[in-house]
Structure 1
Amino acid sequence: MATDVLEDRPLLERSPSFTGSSKTLNDSDEESYGSIAHGTTRTIEDDVLPETSTLGRTISWPSAYIIVISRVIGSGIFATPGVIVKSVGSVGLSLSLWVLGAIIAACSLAVTLEYGCMLPRSGGEKVYLEFTYRKPRFLASTLVAVQAVLLGFTASNCIIFAQYSLFAFDIEATDFRRKSLAVGLLTAITIVHGCFLRTGIWIQNVLGWIKVGLVIFMVLAGLFVVAFRERNTDGTKSHFPTGDQLWEDTNWDWGIIATSLFKVFYSYAGLGNINNVLNEVKNPIRTLKSVSITSLATACILYLLVNIAYFTVVPLEEIRQSKELIAALFFEKSFGPSWGKTVLPLAVALSGAGNVMVVTFALARLNQEIARQGFLPFSNILASTEPFNAPMGALIVHYIPSLLVIALPPSNEVYSFILEVEGYPGTIFALALSIGLLYLRQKRPDLKRPFRAWKIAPVFRIILSLALLAAPFFPPKEKPTGGIWYATYAVVGVSIILSGVVYWYVWTVLIPKWKGYRLEEETSVLADGTSVTTLIHVPK
């Protein structure tokens, strides 16, 4: 990744759809952002213009960092390492996937940063795909809306919260108890963010710093245990494999590696979380660049060290059987049945809760952006910030699919399945964004790019995305018995994308042609100052 020599400014020299001054803005023009937003139409070309939320620019650098790092460090590092090493067989390949995941995350972040600095407004991928893929009309917007509504849930971290809470209090983790605790957490967080905006931000900041401190504590705990505890029965102080043992029992099946990579990606997901709320960020471009890169470096270092700590303290066979409770097993081995089995697992549960808070906060803003452009029913209600100056309608849109994903599937298999189902359509969008970035460099050299990714980043991301999308359709040599079919997540992911295409065709092509009208956009401003777009029927 490399920064561009251009000034830290996101705009075109002139925007053909902007009828006001053609002055180029930068971060020093914060006070004028709001007036620009209200003076422009919500046409696609206006996406290059900065826009201020009706909530104001209230997110400072520390809050932005927590929004990102608390999203990134969620349940993944506390739950997936055991599942991954069980799938791939060896410690060597498991650690290699975490390193590869960091490299891929850096490439993905480079693409996201170039888009975010070029189009500095809330919405993230929605804005970038709409701006890049304008034809067929409304297709990109519809696909993002379908993916955001159907897959924009936070169920996995709610489940981890429930599992670790029950483990800490030594309560049998029945299906009903897991689901009840998970739904209770989701409901409480939705109410806090919908009714007490500033309180919610303060709580998620506190939980975010606790989470970072917990991961650092785990790294130091691993070093402490190796240095001071008694030797194992084989005369060693560390269970970390050496020599040929590092790669023993490795499973090189690409389908298995692909599903494991999706789990690693989940642990790095969220590096672009601040892109979803840029309208509320102070000094958005400068903050976006520094916060994202700092968060990536933090996550890469901590993840690798925590994995090493796991393999050092806990015997490999026990890790393979730990499923999502590897962190609880690590604490119990390190500190015994009191602190290790009660206090520290509760800290992991709080970490999961913090992740649910920041994901809910950001995805509600994405849903609000979708509603603002008329792609959801009752858009005026869902886009509004009334009555508590918070996006309550968008929070409810996020709440419903999360609730269904928690309540319907069996909770003993749902965690891994959720990660894979979320990852597959996400890879399709990653492919589209990477191709789109190279396309815009050729077709729109007039766009200002305060950050410019090395060309190898989108190219590498394209190649890997194609490989990951193909992987599920090559069956493993040893087909698993029982449980969910190995390629179910891919079929579900493709079905969601195809359902979006069918919905778009019926809604924007078939019905208008049948009834003799065309869809046009009409912009209006709600009572709270939020600008929205209504799709109206114009007779041909």
Structure 2
Amino acid sequence: MGLCKRSEKAEITEVKPEDLAASGGVIKMKKQIGLFQGVAIIVGIIIGSGIFVSPVGILQNVRSVGMSFVLWVVCGIYNALGAVCYAELGTMIPQSGGEYVYIRRAFGDMASFVCLWIDFLLICPVGIAAMGLMFAVYLLKPIYPDCDIPETPQRLLAALITTLLIAVNCVNVKWATRVQVVITISKLVALASIIVIGFYFIGKGETESFENSFEDSDVSAGAIALAFYSGFWAYSGWSYLNFLVDELVNPVRNLPLAIFISMTLVIAVYLLANVAYLGVLSPLQMLSSPAVAVTFASQTLGPLKWVMPILIAISVSGTMNGTALSMSRLFFIGAGNNHLPQFVSMINYKRLTPMPSLLIILTLTLIFQNSGDIFYLIEMEGFGFASILVMTFASQVYLRFKEPDLERPIKVPIALPAVLCLISFAIVVLTFYQKPHESFLALGLVAGGIVLYCIGGKWQNKPKSIQDKIDWVNKFIQKLLLVVPPAKPEDLQFE
């Protein structure tokens, strides 16, 4: 946090000419993410474990196949509209950092710090930690087919995959995006297999699950709201490319295109996968299955059923990789604004990657992976993300009045972000109602972050003894990781 006032003493000045030449004479991150990689990042993050493991959340609440499909479509449209709003924001303010940058532009430092702190403490490390554990569960499932997976190998494997993915991101951005492309293709192949097999069964006349599809539907406000929340989670991840705008080639063109292509593809795949599941499994079987894709595979793939858990693990690793790639840029930008320690705002002058930011993510993730309360903390993640959406859509509306002449290559009707802001606020209220303990704990963590911000960020004239210690830490990390601040403040701020 602003525990780090900028100090010349903390900066390494001896950078080799050949290293500067390799980066074009300026230490900053390169534009090397094209449209195809952008689509792969978004699709790879959105399609994680949800469609394979728990597409039953909506069905469980609305109680009918017909209404579940209606909710899948409605949730997809809602998230697609949210993505369109983010496309306006991303092309209007083409800087890495996503909603943090937009909220800061509209409401200033305090509001943007709250956004950053929620991502830093609740969303990023908790999400990656949970996905790492899930990766381990499904990769080890073929080894322990008829019993619970031991805790020790599960945690070790989760730590290993997390460390590997962070290492790839530290070494080379292109490697990270190529990994994301390969994983995204793998998960789409897995889903394509499910869809083909399911439609084969439907073609053979297995359509009992679709008869009287709206019978016994629960259309009460509570049921619809909870079902919407499940769908909201399944589609989450569409906003992450906005964290990488500064590394995106031609962002004004490629950002909205990547979002449109990705959301269209994801909605279509989700609907087809749900139809395919119901071509093999009855609604009752789906509701009783802890992992629908695994149950589906056990009834259709015979001796090859072990393949599906492995494909699910690969899918989950894609979400982990995309989250680390995107969120590391957010923390990098936040540190440049004195909202996190100074060393987090530095990049490796040989690799041109935000190595300290990535290693902070790794450290926090490994801590959470060793917590027995990891899934309890995951329930707080929904509260955090919905809260950020409220602030983001509110900032979009406010900027229309605050800066009406700001160039907007994409401009949506102002009613759209206003309505989405209200819906997101309703989701926050619902979370307090459904999960009061988790929500108030999350609120307490945010309040604690605000206290730290006031001490670190607002306390500019620290005693020399304290500032010297902070400078020593920054300098030590610079030498250890071979990292330096970007050559100019505007490179750091991406302005």
Scaled by the length of structure 2, the TM-score of the pair is 0.82
Summarize deviations over 1:21-57 as a string: whole Å, max 9, x none: xxxxxxxxxxxxx99x98xxxxxxxxxxxxxx82311
Structure 1 residue 335 corresponds to structure 2 residue 301: yes
**Identity within the alignment, %:** 23
Q: In 2, distance between residues paired with 1:382 and 1:437?
A: 26
The answer as to whether partners of 1:116 and 1:124 remain within 8 angstroms in 2 is yes
Which SS does the other structure have where 1:452 is aligned? coil
SS in 1 for 2:32: coil
Say yes or no: does 1:291 pair with 2:258: yes
- Provide the residue aligned with 1:43 in structure 2: none
- Residue by residue, what CA displacement relative to the aligned partner does 1:335-367 show, whole Å, maximum 9, x if unpaired? 22x22x211321121111122111111111112
Distance 1:359 1:164 in 2: 20
Distance of aligned partners of 1:129 and 1:56 in 2 relative to their CA distance in 1, 3 Å threshold: same
Amino acid at match of 2:309: P
Distance, in Å, in 1 between the alignment partners of 2:238 and 2:356 is: 25
The code of the aligned residue for 2:151 comes to D
Q: 1:373 to 1:304 in 2, by over 3 A?
A: same
Preserved CA contact (<8 Å) 1:266 1:419? no
Match of 1:441 among 400, 405, 409: 400
- In structure 1, distance between residues paired with 2:445 and 2:279: 41
CA distance in 2, matches of 1:265, 1:418: 18
Which residue identity does 2:95 align to in structure 1? Answer: R
What is the rounded CA distance, in whole Å, between the counterparts of 1:456 and 1:242 in structure 2?
39
Paired position in structure 1 for 2:115: 144
Structure 1 residue 489 displacement after superposition: 3.1
Aligned to 2:68: 94
For residues 64 and 468 of structure 1, what CA distance do their matches in structure 2 show? 28
Give 1:93 shift.
3.9
Say if 2:18 is the partner of 1:59. Answer: no
- Letter of the 1:272 counterpart: S
Q: Deviations over 1:356-380 (max 9, x none)?
A: 1111111111121122222222x13
Of 282, 288, 291, 1:315 maps to 282
Q: For 1:162, what is the secondary structure of its paired residue? A: helix
| CA distance in 2 between partners of 1:472 and 1:198 (Å) | 38
1:240 aligned partner: 209
Q: Across the two proteins, how many residue pairs are aligned to each other?
A: 447
Pairwise CA distance, 1:83 = 4.0
Aligned equivalents of 1:465, 1:193: Cα separation in 2: 32
For residues 183 and 383 of structure 2, what CA distance do their matches in structure 1 show? Answer: 29
Question: What SS does the corresponding residue of 1:126 show, helix, strand or coil?
Answer: helix
Amino acid of the residue matched to residue 168 of structure 1? Answer: P
Partner of 2:364: 401
Which one-letter code corresponds to 1:156 in the other structure?
Answer: A
Partner of 2:78: 104
In the TM superposition, what is the alpha-carbon distance from 1:86 to its structure 2 partner? 3.4
Number of the residue aligned with 2:320:
356
1:434 offset after TM fit, Å?
1.4
CA spacing shift, 1:209–1:184, aligned 2, 3 Å? same
Q: Does 1:224 align with 2:200?
A: yes
Cα 1:160–1:93 change in 2 (3 A) is farther
Tell me, yes or no, if the aligned pair for 1:74 and 1:355 is still in contact at 8 Å: yes
Partner of 1:538: none
Is 1:344 the equivalent of 2:303? no
The structure with the greater share of residues assigned to helix is: 2
Please state how far the C-alpha of 1:263 moved relative to its aligned partner: 3.1
Tell me how far apart the structure 2 counterparts of residues 528 and 466 of structure 1 sit (CA, whole Å). Answer: 38
**Bigger CA drift: 119-128 or 352-361?**
352-361
- Gap runs ≥5 in structure 1: 1-33, 39-52, 229-235, 476-485, 516-524, 534-540
Indicate whether 1:250 and 2:218 are aligned.
yes
Distance change >3 Å, CA 108–CA 320, structure 1 → 2: same
Give the direction of change, closer, same or farther, for the CA distance of 1:183–1:67 in structure 2 (3 Å limit).
same
| 1:424 correspondence with 2:383 | yes
Paired with 2:289 and 2:346, the residues of 1 have a C-alpha distance of 43
Q: Can you give the 5+ residue segments of structure 2 that lack an aligned partner in the other structure?
A: 1-22, 464-477, 491-495
| Cα pair distance change 1:320/1:122, threshold 3 Å | same
Distance 1:93 1:270 in 2: 24
Whole-angstrom CA distance in 1 between matches of 2:487 and 2:66: 52
Paired amino acid for 1:265:
F
Residues 1:465 and 2:434 aligned together: no
Offset, 1:205:
1.4
In the TM superposition, residue 381 of structure 1 has moved relative to its aligned partner by 5.4
C-alpha root-mean-square deviation of aligned residues, in Å? 3.0
Displacement after TM superposition at 1:249 (Å): 6.9
Paired amino acid for 1:432? M
Name the counterpart of 2:329: 365
Shift in Å at residue 418 of structure 1? 5.2
2:339 aligned to which of 363, 372, 375:
375
Residue 385 in structure 1 maps to residue 356 in structure 2: no
Q: How does 1:38-77 map to 2 (within 5 A)?
A: 54-77=28-51
Range moving further from structure 2, 71-80 or 92-101: 92-101
C-alpha change, 1:443 and 1:57, in structure 2 (3 Å) is: same
Write out per-residue CA displacement over residues 295-328 of structure 1, whole angstroms, 9 at most, x where no aligned residue: 11111111111122222311222222222x1111
Distance 1:454 1:79, change over 3 A: farther
Distance 1:384 1:202 in 2: 21
- Report the Cα distance in structure 2 between the residues aligned to 1:410 and 1:436, rounded to whole angstroms: 34
Which protein, 1 or 2, shows the higher relative CO under an 8 Å CA cutoff with sep ≥ 6? Answer: 2
CA distance in 1, matches of 2:379, 2:73: 19
The residue aligned with 2:446 is 497
TM-score normalised to structure 1 length = 0.76
How far residue 84 of structure 1 moved from its aligned partner, in angstroms, is 4.1
Instruction: Say if 2:170 is the partner of 1:194.
Output: yes
Counterparts of 1:530 and 1:189 in 2: how far apart (Å)? 28
CA distance in 1, matches of 2:448, 2:394: 23
Q: 434, 456, 461: which is aligned to 2:415?
A: 456
1:319, 1:376 → 2: CA distance? 45
| Counterpart Cα distance in 1 of 2:64 and 2:461 | 58
* 1:376-432 Cα shifts (integer Å, max 9, x gaps): 22x135522245432221111111232233221357xx2xx5553222121112112
Aligned residue in 2 for 1:7: none
Q: Contact conserved, 2:346 with 2:485, CA < 8 A, in 1?
A: no
Q: Which amino acid aligns with 1:457?
A: L
State whether residues 346 and 486 of structure 2, in contact with CA within 8 Å, keep that contact through their aligned partners in structure 1.
no
Using the TM superposition, give the Cα deviation of residue 530 of structure 1 relative to its aligned residue in structure 2, in angstroms: 4.8
Query: Which whole-Å CA distance do the structure 2 matches of 1:462 and 1:528 have between them?
Result: 36
1:115 is displaced (CA, Å) by 0.7
Q: In 1, are the aligned partners of 2:338 and 2:457 still within 8 Å (CA)?
A: no
Q: Note the alpha carbon deviations across 1:149-172, whole angstroms, 9 max, x for none.
A: 102121232233122212233444
Tell me which residue corresponds to 1:28: none
Secondary structure of the residue aligned to 2:348 is coil
Separation in 1, partners of 2:325, 2:484: 22
The AA in structure 1 aligned to 2:201 is V
Contact 1:381 1:393 in 2 (8 A): yes
